[in-house]
Structure 1
Amino acid sequence: MQLVILHYHLNRGGVTTVVENHLRSLALLKPEERPSRVAIVYGGRAAAWNESVAQELPFECSLIGVPELEYDQLRESESPLYDALQTVLQSFDRDSTVLHVHNHSLGKNAAMAPVVCRLADEGWRLLLQIHDFAEDLRPANYQHLLDKADSVEQLRGQLYPQADQIHYAVLNQRDRQIMAQAGIDDERLHLLPNPVRAPQHLPDARQVAASKVELMQALGVSASHRLVLYPVRPIRRKNLGELLLWSLLAGDTTFALTLAPLNSQERTAYQQWVEFATELNLPIQFEVANKTDLPFEEIYTAADAIITTSVAEGFGLVFLEASLAGRQLVGRSLPSVCNDFEAAGMQFPGLAETMAIPVDEIDLEELRLSAARRIDQLRAAYGLPLQEQAASPQSEAVFAGDMVDFGRLELSQQRSFLRRVKTEADLRKTLRALNPTVQSIGALSGEDLKQTITNNCRVIAQHYSPEVIGEKLGSVYRALLASCPSRVACEPALAGAILDRFVHPSQLFPIRLES
């Protein structure tokens, strides 16, 4: 078996890490089951690629830069992607090769989806792994695809081609259900979680204590304070406003973010939050990885707890990493990813699905109308007809009841509400009562926390280890190679059904769309 992996870049990011971990997972297979040759085809950026990986593998692995595969806005070449890939594939045997393509439909390179269709039509066997959907509140990506297509119908026909030699892989059951209900055959649709390696043992308690003292000294904060770490580059979907709300409610706790975003647009939004937190004098430290010489792993374990307030994730690695580091996890649960982990047996006693606030503390009518406007804007960007009424029943259902989720507020509403929480003690008391998880930091007894972490690490080893994922991946590749190539069908209705599942009021979190 030969394998060609295609992705736009090998810079820092989730897919680069996944590619690296997939290779290590495949290396654990029996010699007769793993590939004999692997080529990683990418656009040219490889700042985060670990060159030692290839030396560790028991099979040939090479990197092939193809400038035509780069993001459209970064491309210097106007030559066709199809021609460039044909040149690469000349040295591979079509009948014994799998093309593993990451995020073909995301809208980063508009040529990718139609090229995938052409390759499949020639009989190449493809695994199309979707980490992120352009349909999932990424209207700029989808609009870019529309701009390059002749029509909405043509684009939809290209996004999710169907044939016996085309299989799909997704990260979680939510995404699998969306694609299955849209019409993708079960035998060609695979659940492929990211591989995660559990450490041999939990961090040493004395080293953890020493790391915390060193980190808190570097931050100029008393070591007696609890430290809660948000180990992310805080892009908009990471929901920084909710982190600020936690800092107002938790008491005697310092919150810390590790790094700043790299993307210029995301960095602008982030800097506004930094200035706002400074204005309110909140106990939050930003970019702590740049304020200490401690390695990232020690910063992580120096924290008393890990927090996540994100409103959207693909795989959701943070939900596993906290236990692997021996830390309590607090914050926001995401059913789209946590349901899978909990079904496998993991426990998250410090998480809640919402940050509840009383509806009479906000302008609910303004929120309803702004949500309706947002949906109309999304539908227009995605080439969908507008709603016939200003507020649909689905939109009304999101805001039914006595409470509303802080994460559903517009950015301006979040900031206005945070100012009130800062100054109104009664409001803080009400919010603590409505959201008991904000007082859960350190609430688990040492033994209970240890049992939760031990259980979670066991589940991770059983379901998400490189050995387990390597077997899944090898099985998918073998199924593809056993397939008989058939005519490629372009099914616009299938792509439309996927779009309808995402462009829906239940999926709307305005902070993801703030410019």
Structure 2
Amino acid sequence: MQVVIAHSQLNPGRITRIIESQTEALQKTTVKIITGACTDPETFTSKGAELIIIKELIDLEKKKYSDHEARQMLHLVHQKIREHIEPGTVLHFHNLNLGKNPIVTYAVYLLAKEGVKVFNHAHDFAEDRPSNLAFLKEILTNIFLQDVNEVLYPKLPNYQFGVVNSADLERLVSYGVDQERIVWLPNPVNVKTSPENLDKAEAKSTVCQTLKLDENKLLVTYPVKVIQRKNIGELILLSILFDHIASFAVTQAPQNPVEIEMYKQWVTFCADHEIDVTFEAGMKTDFEILLAGSDFCITTSYRESFGMVYLEPWLLDTPVIGRDIDYITRDFKEDSFEFPALYYKLNIPGIKVDFKDLNMKMQMEIISDLKSGRLSKQQVFEQNPILSTLFKKVADSVTAKNKAIIQNNYSLKAYGNKLQEQYSKLIG
């Protein structure tokens, strides 16, 4: 059996980390990886995978394509992927249904119609992003005269889906996919550093010295690439509420050009208002030492596909706090996971909607008022009593319990076994 793992690009990020874990978990299988671009090929080749660059897999800009351009690109993509498919191959494609490259999505559909075994690993969906769905319709319907739902969710026995949470499994069933063709495949939680080999106090001291932070304050890290749905404005607001006891750090800048402008505006805003949030901390110090040295990891995101941030830090004895996303955390809670300090909503005095639902301009105005004292911290705490318990010390027994659940239920070995099982079902 050969597995061809495919994704639009392998820049640093969550899906790249998942593919890295898959490559590691499939050491006894012949693995090829095809991608549009890769910043660190050795990450994959050192694990025995063959890496092939097919630049046409890169996400397309949402420009207008002529019929000729689209058909020419389709032929090229189809041909280049087909070259790496042999009998007994599973084509494991990540985020095919996000809609950022409709031509690739259509090419894989055509390959499946020809009998290629396809495993569509769905992390995100075009249905959640209207502009992506519109782009799919422009290409698939207007040019190729195809029904978008048929291309995204074909009723073929050799076409299976992997989902990272139970909510997405329910979603696919509601879209008409037979449940027997869907596997719930929670991401593996795989950190390289063992807490036994790392002194937390030492790690915090190292990080604080590197980032020039006060070691006497709590170190609170948001391990995230700052894109819109990560709701960075909320973290900035929290940093002001707790600036007397905590330093806040964010790990990565976005790489998507669409997101970069938003990010730059927030960085400039913080500089102009003398708000001490450390941006791009993951580029200035080792990522896992940063997580291990943090007193807490936090998330203010309002939409996730799997929610690795809720799990990974616990393996480094770092509790996770912040905003709850019920359709994500319900799976972890079903496993008896404990989250001592998560909140569902952030109320602002005089504002009727959740802070996360405000546009950037309104969020900036509220944060500016909080920073200047026009809006008092006391008012915000009164509206959100849970914030007073956000940084309450987490019992060692809770950390130990959560770590054990991760190690038992989300290990790399168990993940590899589940993948192999699905591939075997496809191959028959």
2:163 paired residue number: 170
- Counterpart of 2:126 (choices 118, 134, 137) is 134
- Counterpart of 1:428 (choices 361, 377, 391) is 377
Paired with 2:205 and 2:192, the residues of 1 have a C-alpha distance of: 24
Q: Given that residues 310 and 320 in structure 2 are in contact (C-alpha distance below 8 angstroms), is that contact kept between their aligned partners in structure 1?
A: yes
User: Shift of the alpha carbon at 1:201?
Assistant: 4.1
1:12 paired residue number: 12
2:202 paired residue number: 210
- Counterpart of 2:414 (choices 455, 468, 478) is 468
Paired with 1:82 and 1:102, the residues of 2 have a C-alpha distance of: 21
Structure with the bigger RCO (C-alpha within 8 Å, sep 6+) is 1
Q: Letter of the aligned partner of 2:217 in structure 1? A: H
Q: Alpha-carbon deviations, 1:126-148, whole Å to 9, x = none?
A: 11111111221x23322222222
2:66 paired residue number: none
2:60 paired residue number: 72
CA 1:120–1:279 in 2, change beyond 3 Å: closer, same or farther? same
Q: Alpha-carbon deviations, 1:291-315, whole Å to 9, x = none?
A: x5x4222222222111111111111
Q: Given that residues 16 and 48 in structure 1 are in contact (C-alpha distance below 8 angstroms), is that contact kept between their aligned partners in structure 2?
A: no
Matched, 1:453 2:399: yes
CA 1:304–1:62 in 2, change beyond 3 Å: closer, same or farther? same
Q: Given that residues 332 and 351 in structure 1 are in contact (C-alpha distance below 8 angstroms), is that contact kept between their aligned partners in structure 2?
A: yes
Paired with 2:334 and 2:422, the residues of 1 have a C-alpha distance of: 23
1:21 paired residue number: 21
User: Shift of the alpha carbon at 1:233?
Assistant: 2.1
User: Shift of the alpha carbon at 1:241?
Assistant: 1.1
Matched, 1:279 2:228: no
Task: Judge which range, 423-432 or 155-164, deviates more.
Answer: 423-432
- 5+ residue gaps, structure 1: 28-33, 365-403, 483-515
3-state SS in 2 of match to 1:180: helix
Paired with 1:275 and 1:203, the residues of 2 have a C-alpha distance of: 39
Normalised to the residue count of structure 1, the TM-score between the two structures is: 0.75
Paired with 1:275 and 1:86, the residues of 2 have a C-alpha distance of: 46
1:372 paired residue number: none
Q: Given that residues 16 and 49 in structure 1 are in contact (C-alpha distance below 8 angstroms), is that contact kept between their aligned partners in structure 2?
A: no
- Counterpart of 2:117 (choices 118, 121, 125) is 125
- Counterpart of 1:337 (choices 319, 325, 328) is 328
3-state SS in 2 of match to 1:148: helix
Q: Given that residues 146 and 155 in structure 1 are in contact (C-alpha distance below 8 angstroms), is that contact kept between their aligned partners in structure 2?
A: yes
Q: Given that residues 39 and 63 in structure 1 are in contact (C-alpha distance below 8 angstroms), is that contact kept between their aligned partners in structure 2?
A: yes
CA 1:276–1:74 in 2, change beyond 3 Å: closer, same or farther? closer
Paired with 1:204 and 1:194, the residues of 2 have a C-alpha distance of: 25
Q: Given that residues 9 and 70 in structure 1 are in contact (C-alpha distance below 8 angstroms), is that contact kept between their aligned partners in structure 2?
A: yes
Paired with 1:465 and 1:455, the residues of 2 have a C-alpha distance of: 15
2:2 paired residue number: 2
User: Shift of the alpha carbon at 1:65?
Assistant: 2.3
Q: Letter of the aligned partner of 1:236 in structure 2? A: Q
User: RMSD across aligned C-alpha pairs, in angstroms?
Assistant: 2.6
Paired with 1:478 and 1:150, the residues of 2 have a C-alpha distance of: 34
Paired with 2:174 and 2:230, the residues of 1 have a C-alpha distance of: 28
Paired with 1:109 and 1:91, the residues of 2 have a C-alpha distance of: 20
Paired with 2:306 and 2:93, the residues of 1 have a C-alpha distance of: 17
1:346 paired residue number: 337
* Count of aligned pairs between the two proteins: 419
User: Shift of the alpha carbon at 1:276?
Assistant: 2.0
Paired with 2:252 and 2:192, the residues of 1 have a C-alpha distance of: 24
User: Shift of the alpha carbon at 1:2?
Assistant: 1.9
Q: Given that residues 198 and 457 in structure 1 are in contact (C-alpha distance below 8 angstroms), is that contact kept between their aligned partners in structure 2?
A: no
Larger Rg: 1
3-state SS in 2 of match to 1:158: helix
3-state SS in 1 of match to 2:141: coil
3-state SS in 1 of match to 2:5: strand
Paired with 2:114 and 2:194, the residues of 1 have a C-alpha distance of: 49
Matched, 1:478 2:424: yes
Q: Given that residues 119 and 160 in structure 2 are in contact (C-alpha distance below 8 angstroms), is that contact kept between their aligned partners in structure 1?
A: yes
3-state SS in 2 of match to 1:12: coil
Paired with 2:196 and 2:342, the residues of 1 have a C-alpha distance of: 23
Matched, 1:439 2:379: no
- Counterpart of 2:51 (choices 63, 88, 108) is 63
User: Shift of the alpha carbon at 1:90?
Assistant: 4.9
User: Shift of the alpha carbon at 1:74?
Assistant: 11
Paired with 1:262 and 1:80, the residues of 2 have a C-alpha distance of: 25
3-state SS in 1 of match to 2:32: strand
- 5+ residue gaps, structure 2: 64-68
3-state SS in 2 of match to 1:258: strand
CA 1:439–1:41 in 2, change beyond 3 Å: closer, same or farther? same
Q: Letter of the aligned partner of 1:410 in structure 2? A: N
CA 1:182–1:149 in 2, change beyond 3 Å: closer, same or farther? closer
User: Shift of the alpha carbon at 1:236?
Assistant: 1.4
CA 1:217–1:338 in 2, change beyond 3 Å: closer, same or farther? same
1:115 paired residue number: 107
Paired with 2:160 and 2:150, the residues of 1 have a C-alpha distance of: 16
Q: Alpha-carbon deviations, 1:252-298, whole Å to 9, x = none?
A: 211112232223332221121122223333232223345x5x42222
